[in-house]
Each structure stands twice: as C-alpha cells, then as structure tokens.
Structure 1
Amino acid sequence: MDTPAVRSDATREGERAIVRDPLPTQGLLDFRVIELFFFAYREFTADADSILERYGFGRAHHRVLHFVNRDPGLTIAELLEILQITKQSLSRVLRQLIDEGFICQLPGDEDRRQRRLYPTQKGRALAVELSEAQVRRIDASLAKTTDEDMRPIAAFLKAMATDRASARDWFERKDITWKDPE
C-alpha cells in the first residue's frame, strides 16, 4: 500500500505529470461561482487595500478595526471568536494598532483581567474611510440590480455567512436581518 510517508517513484512521477487541459466544471464543482467570488472579493478589497498600505497595514488590521468599531468594548476573546484566528495571529496586528494609536485596550469593569478593545478617534476615522471605499463599490454594483435581484443575492450571502455560530451570534447581536426594504 502506498502511504504518504513511503511513496513509490512511479507515484511521484505520476503526480508530477504535466496537465494541459483546464480544470472543467463537473457537477457540483462549478468554478464559475468560485471565480465570481474571487474577482468580486478582489475588487471589494482593492480600494481598502490601497488605503491600508499607506499605514503599513493589511486585511487583518482592517478586520480588527471593523469589528472593534462596530462593537466598542469587545473583549479579545470575543474578537478571536468572530475572526476565527489564533491569539498569536491577533497579537501582532493588535499590538501594531494599539502602538500606533488606532485602538485602546482597557481592563473590564467587572473583571479587571478581561481586556476590552475600543477604537480611538484615529481608529474610528480609518474604519470609516475603509468602509466608505467599500460602500462606494457595493453601491455601484447594487445600482445595476433591481430589488427583485437582491432577494436571492441576500439569501445566498446569508446562507454562506451564517455557517458558524460566531457569525450567527454577531448578526443577532447587531440585529442584522435580511427583510425586504419597506
């Protein structure tokens, strides 16, 4: 039996054989949707990425700024749950945002061991600038759709976004719903 640890030369050669045909869409494996996501996400993040670059920040900084601004007083544990990242990953990004004056970390009122995160005015201004760039792109795209088009789009995005409890909890806490506009 061929195990990952002990592979035959023939297996290795077969794995390295050149494939010249494009990966086809087969059954549930529909690359059109994947590619739509890829290009839409690239465009959605492009404007914010150039703003972040001026500060030497990346997308992780953006996510932290976004959620701390949306829920001032968020604990580090809550932020870790929302972002689904490790403490080590958050630590570097958070340290940079704190050191450069975008976020402030304070002890909790009831539990002094708890660390609560708050945006500074500087952090709020950057979060708004980043969001405005993305909202412009969203608005431009939505202007090309009808209210009828939006129902399945919103339902699809909700189904994709609420797979994890942390996302469902966030939407519930922030009273984010997908009701039709009145």
Structure 2
Amino acid sequence: MTDKKTGANPLFLREEELRQAIELLFFAYRDFTSEADAMLAHQGFGRAHHRVIYFVGRHPMISVSDLLLILKITKQSLSRVLSQLVRDGYIVQQQGTEDRRQRLLRLTDKGVAIERDLTEAQRQRIARAYREAGADAVAGFRAVLLGIMEPPDRSRFDRGRET
C-alpha cells in the first residue's frame, strides 16, 4: 500500500527496482542521444559540443561563467569546445556591455540551424513518450527527474520559470 504522507511505495525502494531504474535511465539516455550523436559526428562534434550549442541556444547572450555553472565542466574543457564552435561559425562571442571582461555567447544562423535539427529529433522522442504515458506519468517523471538533480539546479525548473 502507498504511504499517503510521502507518496512513496516501499516496493519501489527495493534494490532490484532501484537497479532497474538505473538501467532504464541508461537505455533511455542512450536512445535519446543516438540521433543527435550521429548528426554531430558528421560535423566532427561530440556531446560536449551539443550541450554548448543547446544551452547557448536556450539562453542567448549567456555569459561564459553562467554556461560553466550549467555544464559543470572546467574552463579548459569549455574553451576547447567553444573555440571550435566559434571558429566553425556556430557561435559568436561578444564583450559584455557593463563588464567588458564578460564574454557573452549567442548562436549564429548556422548555429540556430544545427540546434534546431539536433533538438527536433529529441523533442519528437519526448513528445511521443509523453503522449503514450499520459499527464499523470509526465508529472511523476518530472518529479523524479527533479529529485535526481542537485538542489541548486531545481529552482531553474520552478513552474512558470522553465528554461
């Protein structure tokens, strides 16, 4: 029986169910990224490039420091990827208007096009899964994903402020 207070069913906390959840996440992520990985490979890019393109597209004029906070990678790792994306014409860097040391990033038209193509396959996959699962399952899935995240990042997804 489900504990009404916490909403948790102790059957879902057994070792086998927890391990199955880990495997489900692995296989879902593998399939979620497969189409994008194939598109990226044609450009000589990898998942790090995809993440940068995606988040710069979602947050035009994002600062390099804010992007580092989202991606949780080293400056050196970002620099390597970002340099290639700038050199190949997918991203433009601009100086901050208030702080000239700040580097702000935005996608070029070429960057917008690749971001749209990469995201569309993933958007369709998620839309199909959402339709098949139904609204209650989508709400539960969202709650589980938020629970997996570190607390500081959860506020990014407060209702009405989803970015």
- TM (norm. structure 1) is 0.76
How many equivalent residue pairs?
Answer: 150
Residue among 19, 22, 28 paired with 1:34: 22
Residue among 153, 157, 161 paired with 1:171: 157
Is the partner of 1:104 in helix, strand or coil? strand
In the alignment, which residue of structure 2 is the partner of 1:98? 86
Question: Residues 92 and 106 of structure 2 are in contact (CA less than 8 Å); yes or no, is this contact kept in structure 1?
Answer: yes
In the alignment, which residue of structure 2 is the partner of 1:150? 138
1:151 CA drift (Å) = 2.0
Structure 1, unmatched stretches of 5+, are: 1-25, 178-182
Structure 2, unmatched stretches of 5+, are: 1-13
Of Structure 1 and Structure 2, the greater helix share is in 2
1:150 CA drift (Å) = 1.8
In the alignment, which residue of structure 1 is the partner of 2:11? none
In the alignment, which residue of structure 2 is the partner of 1:89? 77
Is 2:115 the partner of 1:127? yes
Superposed CA deviations along residues 37-95 of structure 1, whole A, max 9, x for unmatched, are: 00000000001111111100011001101111111111111100110000011011000
Following TM superposition, where does structure 1 have runs of at least 4 consecutive aligned residues deviating by more than 2 angstroms? 26-30, 167-172
Residue among 25, 37, 40 paired with 1:52: 40
Instruction: Please identify, of 145-154 and 40-49, the stretch whose mean Cα deviation from structure 2 is larger.
Output: 145-154
Question: Cα RMSD (Å) of the superposition?
Answer: 2.1
Question: Residues 40 and 50 of structure 2 are in contact (CA less than 8 Å); yes or no, is this contact kept in structure 1?
Answer: yes
| In 2, Cα distance between equivalents of 1:41 and 1:96 | 25
Question: Residues 36 and 121 of structure 2 are in contact (CA less than 8 Å); yes or no, is this contact kept in structure 1?
Answer: yes
1:114 CA drift (Å) = 0.8
Query: What amino acid maps onto 2:156 in structure 1?
Result: W
1:168 CA drift (Å) = 3.2
- TM (norm. structure 2) is 0.84
1:134 CA drift (Å) = 0.3
> In percent, how many aligned pairs have the same letter?
46
Is the partner of 2:98 in helix, strand or coil? coil
User: Highest Rg: 1 or 2?
Assistant: 1
Question: Residues 146 and 154 of structure 2 are in contact (CA less than 8 Å); yes or no, is this contact kept in structure 1?
Answer: no
| In 2, Cα distance between equivalents of 1:171 and 1:150 | 14
